[in-house]
Amino acid sequence: MDAFVFLVSAAIVLTGALGVLTSRNPVHAALFLVQTLFGVAVLFVLQDATFLAAVQVIVYAGAVVILFLFVIMLLGVDRAEDLGVEPIVGQRPLAAAIGASLMGLLLTLLLVATDGPTGAPGRTAPLGDAADNTRRLGEALFTGHVFAVELTALLLTVAVVGAVVLARTVKGPLQPLPVVVVATATDPLEVPAESQPGVEIDVEIDAGSQPGIETGSEDGGGDT
Amino acid sequence: MVVTTSWYLALGAVLFSLGAVGLLTRRNPLIMFMCVELMLNAVNLTFVSLGADLGDLGGQLSVFFVLVVAAAEVVVGLAIIVAIMRRRQGATVDDLSVLGG
């Protein structure tokens, strides 16, 4: 029974991971990611880690993937990506070689170590069964690891503040523009400045205090 | 057939490698983030498996903290992606070499 559940959920996990890798649309990739996360949650249940299985579904599938989908929809990047072109020559064969060697290395380590993982069974925090997993985890977190829990609270606060600061829209003239955007923005302004007789006319109308043409004359003066 | 710890560890290794390959091949920053999540999940699976094998709660405690750090990382990373995409629509990570300074 355990083997059947393991094999089915392993198939779910691996097909989901392959879907994330190969899907052109980011929305499809996010849904495949949900599939993988559910498979991992089933494997957690299989190992009596019931609290982590619930947290996996709630936090990962419920919050993180929804955050991904929010960003995808917000940016409007839910269009298909062209996977046919290879931006860097030889990148994909190299990545496949690195991935295959990584997988081979890890699996070889597992197969060579026939005795399985070594180490002493824990004495300080024994693993209970599935029924009191949550109680034991809570006791361990809030007695022995209280300082780390407080640090994670600090980390989450910093992350929230950082996200708000990074994603806010800055108004006013102080907003720094990237170099590429500045170069494209000045292109249409240079077109009227190229006509040389227009410069003097602009200066004359400048006395009439029209702000739109005023900038045009400044650009023409700076260009010549 | 008895499911031993090695089965879980092998599955974690394969999942980690798939995530690494995706991180190296894909150019969309959002999908690269998803591949990082795959790798984190592989490590979480390994932690829980080894914790169950040794009868220790430490593996599950580690997974708890990994979850919190992963959530914070996703929040900050997605905020950076939003800030970049506002300036340059449809930017891939190849276009972001200007961030090198």
pLDDT in tens, B67-81: 999 999 999 999 988
pLDDT of residue A11: 95
Q: What is the CATH number of the domain that holds B70?
A: 1.10.287.3510
Asked if residue B82 belongs to a domain, the reply is: yes
Which residues of A are less than 8 Å from B38 in CB distance? 17, 20, 33, 36
Asked if residue B18 belongs to a domain, the reply is: no
Packing angle of the helix pair B5-25, A26-46 (nearest 10 deg): 170
Q: Summarize pLDDT for B8-50 with one digit per residue, the tens.
A: 988 999 999 999 999 998 888 889 999 999 999 999 999 999 8
For chain B, the domain total comes to 1
Asked if residue B42 belongs to a domain, the reply is: yes
Asked if residue B9 belongs to a domain, the reply is: no
Chain A closest CA to B22's CA: distance in Å?
5
First to last CA, chain B: 56
Asked if residue B74 belongs to a domain, the reply is: yes
Supply the ipTM of this predicted assembly. Answer: 0.92
Residue contact A120–B34, C-beta within 8 A = no
Considering only CA atoms, which of A24, A114, A56, A76 is closest in space to residue B85? Answer: A76
CB proximity B99 to A under 8 Å: no
SS3 A107: helix
Q: What is the CATH number of the domain that holds A23?
A: 1.20.120.1200
CA torsion through residues A109, B66, A57, A135, sign: positive
Asked if residue A27 belongs to a domain, the reply is: yes
Comparing alpha-carbon positions, the chain A residue that sits nearest to B3 is A3
Q: What is the mean pLDDT of chain A?
A: 76
Write out residues 105-164 of A within 8 Å (CB-CB) of B.
Answer: 106-107, 110, 116-117, 119-122, 125-128, 133, 136-137, 140-141, 145, 148, 152, 155-156, 158-160, 162-164
For chain A, the domain total comes to 2
Percent of chain A with pLDDT over 70: 65
Residues 6 or more apart in contact with residue A88 via CB below 8 angstroms: B94
Q: Check residues A1 and A176 and name the one with the higher pLDDT.
A: A1
pLDDT of residue A197: 46
Chain A closest CA to B92's CA: distance in Å?
10
User: Residue B80 is part of which domain span?
Assistant: 27-93
Q: Summarize pLDDT for A143-182 with one digit per residue, the tens.
A: 888 999 999 999 999 999 999 998 887 765 555 555 554 4
Asked if residue A48 belongs to a domain, the reply is: yes
User: Residue A25 is part of which domain span?
Assistant: 1-81+130-136
Phi/psi-derived region of residue B55, left when phi > 0, alpha when psi is between -120 and 50, beta in every other case = left
Buried b (16+ CB within 10 A) or exposed e, A127-154: bbeeeebbebbeebbeeebeeeeeebee
Q: Using 50, 70 and 90 to split pLDDT, how confident is the model at A54? A: very high
Asked if residue B52 belongs to a domain, the reply is: yes
**Would the pTM of this model clear 0.90, i.e. be above it?**
no
Asked if residue A107 belongs to a domain, the reply is: no
Asked if residue A156 belongs to a domain, the reply is: no
CB B1 within 8 A of CB A82: no
Q: Summarize pLDDT for A57-107 with one digit per residue, the tens.
A: 999 888 999 999 998 888 876 566 666 677 677 788 888 889 888 888 888
Write out residues 68-107 of A within 8 Å (CB-CB) of B.
Answer: 68, 71-72, 74-77, 81, 87-88, 91-92, 94-96, 98-100, 102-103, 106-107
CB A60 within 8 A of CB A117: no
Asked if residue B7 belongs to a domain, the reply is: no
Asked if residue B10 belongs to a domain, the reply is: no
Chain A closest CA to B57's CA: distance in Å?
5
